[in-house]
Structure 1
Amino acid sequence: MTTQTDPSPRTSAAGGDGSRERAPQAGRPWAIVAGREVVVRLTNRAFLVSTLITLVFIVGIGAFSAWQSGRTSTATVAVTSQDAGRLVSTAAAAAKAADSSTEIEATTLSSEAAARSALTAGDADAWLHQGSNGSWVLTSTDTPGGSVQTALADAVRSEALSANAAAAGTSVEAIERGTVLATERLDGAEDNTGAIRLATLAFALLFFMAAMLFGQQIAASVVEEKQSRLVEIIATAIPLRELLAGKVLGNSLLALGQVILYGAVGLVAVSFTDLSGLLPGLSAAVVWFVVFFAVGFFALACLFAVAGALASRTEDLQSTTSPMTMVLMLVYVIGFTVTGTALKIASFVPIMSVVAMPGRILSGEAAWWEPVVALLLMLAFAAVTVVVGERIYRRSLMQTRGKMSWREGLKASDA
């Protein structure tokens, strides 16, 4: 009788990464896991619907802004004298030259009573007339529009200055000489503070939404596999570090793809608004945001996976993911509220720099080397996070003694 030996190789019963006996696998296990994560998300109806809704929201904001910028309203001003009519004509010409979204037109009425009736009936938006002391008065049923009031005030002021200058035997230019305060930036750029704050807010909101959505999905996926003991079967086939790498890479690619999609659609939407002049600087800021997001989310994804491994059931996730949630909330708030030196410091702090540095790039405050240094710091942080996170993940994933703290996970021994 001959004894046959099993030709199939076997691995050790307890590997250094916390896995049990495994059968040999062809290919790269992490790539298989990553592919599965991508397919599961892309075939999830809730994920697709939420992505579509966000895209519609971005396009809607762009369409509304474009419509508002191209929308022109007409303000009708009642007049009862030639002098008032001349002032309204001057204001209308000035508003048109300034490319205002409001057009001003005069309607001549025969008496003050007719003007009051026109205001009451809504046939006129305002009534320009002289008061008892000879000064001009703009009467309306409600506060007149800012652009209308400004244009008429400038017209009244200009005519009064001309009359006073003629009476004094001089010119308007001589009277106004040295009375105008001009403003400029040291770098010669236009002041777009409002638009920059809006873009920084968009960066903060986009980072917060993507990190929370995909981070919580990673944590939920890990704890579900642990709670159902499916991970014990998976661990016999592939190393746990390969499982972690696949989950993190797969979800990171999805998150990055979604952010790139949102950013591209947002830039196209901006091109149809009055902010189209900011596109060169905004495009550069978006590119840097995508780069910082890719590195920062990779580190956060690893931490969310660890949070799932520390939990023993789905109900534990609120506790184990709270550190990341607090950090994301802090980044969201600080990203668009701090200014000056505090913002400069935040732009070099890992995770916070995902939002703070692109905002400084857009405003022109960052030198060329600053985003490079901030990115290197982010890479160093991500490397440390992945090393430490992988160790806690391996040591806590196979534990079945209930929820573990982050300190307990770091001190636990390999299973």
Structure 2
Amino acid sequence: MSTATPAAPTTAQSVWLVAEREIGSKLRSKAFVISSAILMLVSLAGVIWAGFAAGSSSETPVAVTSDSARYVEQVPNLELTQVASRGEAEELVRAGDVDVAILADPASPVGFSVLGDEGVSSTLLMQFAQVPTVELLQPQDGVAALGFIAAIGFGVVFLFAASMFGGTIAQSVVEEKQTRVVELLISAVPVRALLAGKVIGNTILAMGQIFVLAAIAVVGLTVTGQTALLQGLGAPIAWFGVFFLFGFVLLASLFAAAASMVSRQEDIGSTTTPLTMLVMAPYFLVIFFFDNPLVLGIMSYVPFSAPVGMPMRIFLGDTQWWEPLLSLAILVATCVAAIVVGAKIYQNSLLRMGARVKLREALSR
């Protein structure tokens, strides 16, 4: 009597088996669950606090002209003072009778500009659907708070998710090599399927966090009545999700490949440090240069910083319709190239134990 030999799993089935293993191990990790919960709670508290702070603020005295009043008639917490001309509006701002003046401005992406004396309240700017042009009568060194807040938001989410999951992938690869578990794994699934499963599994988890954070922002802003700000953030958040997806796959592939070149946990930093710097660079650049069109423009086309730079430019209303599509095409092409190179390094290095595998050797075989 003979028994049929079970059919070997297909490549797709192998990839999904590895992905399920990665997802399950993370969800069973108390450290991952606790850190994710803390991130979600802090994000929710921040959004709700900012919304209530904006909603509960007292009315802001604002000067408007006849051709600019229509832009702010529906904006809450504004005490409007009608003036006949820009000159009269400037006098009221200089005298301190009003905080700002709203003036029609065809050059502004939203059709009007905000005229202040030495600065403009970030709470006021947050009430507009898009960031208007800001003009100061007595400019001082400072930053536009709303843009700064958006820069921190995009930068922190990208840095946290990419570094956490990238580091997790690297540790997982080295742990499997160090304990020889990898030899059992590749006897059951192809090496490339093992790499693909790790990348897909962690990508699903990372994107899950992004979607939850986006939902928190939507719920928080809706509960606090900040619908105008929500409309302004909708497109940038959506684009951030798309760019983050391909940017994370790119980084995850490289993290796995870099980790496969070493056999001990203490040696991970020797191959992944350059990638860690690539993750940190967009965070610092977008915070320090969020109001610099040249730097943001360059960031939005460099694959490693595009997931932060392009959504930031979209939020500021500083892009043409075709720019996000071109930037995304560059990112996707780079992602494909990174997967091909990463898979070759991973396949050539995974079973080599002992001393660190040199990059040239990993690519030459």
User: Is 1:356 matched with 2:309?
Assistant: yes
Does 1:326 pair with 2:280? no
Match of 1:281, as an amino acid?
G
1:112-170 Cα deviation digits (max 9, x unpaired): xxxxxxxxxxxxxxxxxxxxxxxxxxxxxxxxxxxxxxxxxxxxxxxxxxxxxxxxxxx
Q: Distance in 2 between matches of 1:303 and 1:52?
A: 27
Partner of 1:65: 50
Distance 1:177 1:242, change over 3 A: closer
- How far residue 64 of structure 1 moved from its aligned partner, in angstroms, is 2.1
In 2: Cα distance, 1:398 partner to 1:206 partner: 34
Show the 5 A alignment for 1:32-47: 32-47=17-32
For residues 49-88 of structure 1, the aligned pairs below 5 Å read: 49-71=34-56
Q: Output the aligned Cα RMSD.
A: 2.9
1:96 shift after superposition: 5.8
Q: 1:65 Cα shift?
A: 2.0
> Which of the residues 236, 241, 245 maps onto 2:196?
245
| Deviation of 1:266 (Å) | 1.8
Inter-CA distance 70–376: structure 2 relative to 1 (3 Å threshold) = closer
**Aligned-partner Cα distance in 2 for 1:244–1:68:** 47
Question: TM-score scaled by structure 1?
Answer: 0.67
Q: Paired residue for 1:383, among 336, 345, 352? A: 336
Match of 1:98 in 2: 61
C-alpha distance 407-274 of structure 1, shift in aligned 2 (>3 A): farther
Contact between 2:253 and 2:343, CA under 8 Å: does it hold in 1?
Answer: yes
- Does residue 1:397 correspond to 2:360, yes or no? no
Question: C-alpha separation between the residues in 1 aligned to 2:267 and 2:60?
Answer: 64
Q: Using the alignment, how far apart are the partners of 1:196 and 1:184 within structure 2?
A: 21
Task: Quote how far apart the aligned CAs of 1:66 are.
Answer: 3.4
Q: Summarize the alignment of residues 291-306 of structure 1 with structure 2, pairs less than 5 Å apart.
A: 291-306=242-257
Is the contact between residue 262 and residue 354 of structure 2 (CA under 8 Å) also seen in structure 1? no
- Alpha-carbon distance in structure 2 between the residues aligned to 1:205 and 1:178: 39
Partner residue, 2:8: 24
**Deviation digits for residues 210-268 of structure 1, max 9, x if unmatched?**
00110011000000000011111111111100000000000001101111111220232
Matches of 1:272 and 1:308, distance apart in 2: 44
Distance 1:398 1:57, change over 3 A: same
Q: Distance in 2 between matches of 1:267 and 1:210?
A: 20
Decide whether the 8 Å contact of 2:192 with 2:343 is kept in 1: yes
Name the residue aligned to 1:340. Answer: 293
Q: Percent identity?
A: 36
Letter in 2 for 1:25: P
Supply the AA of the counterpart residue of 1:320: T
Is 1:201 the equivalent of 2:152?
A: yes
Q: Which secondary structure does the structure 2 equivalent of 1:98 belong to?
A: strand
Pick from 247, 254, 257: which aligns with 2:205?
A: 254
Q: Note the C-alpha offset of 1:363.
A: 0.9
Which residue is 1:314 aligned to? 265
Over residues 155-210 of structure 1, what are the superposed CA-to-partner deviations in whole Å (9 max), with x where a residue is unaligned?
A: xxxxxxxxxxxxxxxxx999x85864865541315348432331122011100000
Q: Structure 1 CA distance, aligned partners of 2:319 and 2:156?
A: 22
Question: Offset at 1:381?
Answer: 0.3
Kindly indicate whether the alpha-carbon contact (under 8 Å) linking 2:27 and 2:33 is maintained by their aligned counterparts in 1. yes
Q: Which letter maps to 1:304?
A: F
- Map of 1:135-150 to 2, 5 A cutoff? none
CA distance 1:229–1:369, shift in 2 (3 Å): same
Q: Distance in 1 between matches of 2:51 and 2:246?
A: 34
Deviation, structure 1 residue 270: 2.9
Deviations 1:28-56 (A, max 9, x none): 10111011111111222221111111111
Letter in 1 for 2:325: V
Cα pair 1:295 1:382 within 8 Å, conserved: yes
**In structure 1, what residue type is equivalent to 2:8?**
P
Q: Distance in 1 between matches of 2:338 and 2:161?
A: 19
Does the Cα contact within 8 Å between 1:58 and 1:269 map onto a contact in 2? no
Q: Is the 8 A contact 1:285 1:358 kept in 2?
A: yes
**Which residue in the other structure is 1:136 paired with?**
none
1:385-407, Cα deviation, whole Å (9 max, x unpaired): 00000000000111113222333
TM-score normalised by length of structure 2? 0.75
The one-letter code sitting in structure 2 at the alignment partner of 1:98 is P
Judged with a 3 Å threshold, the aligned counterparts in structure 2 of structure 1 residues 230 and 273 are, in CA distance, closer, same or farther, namely same
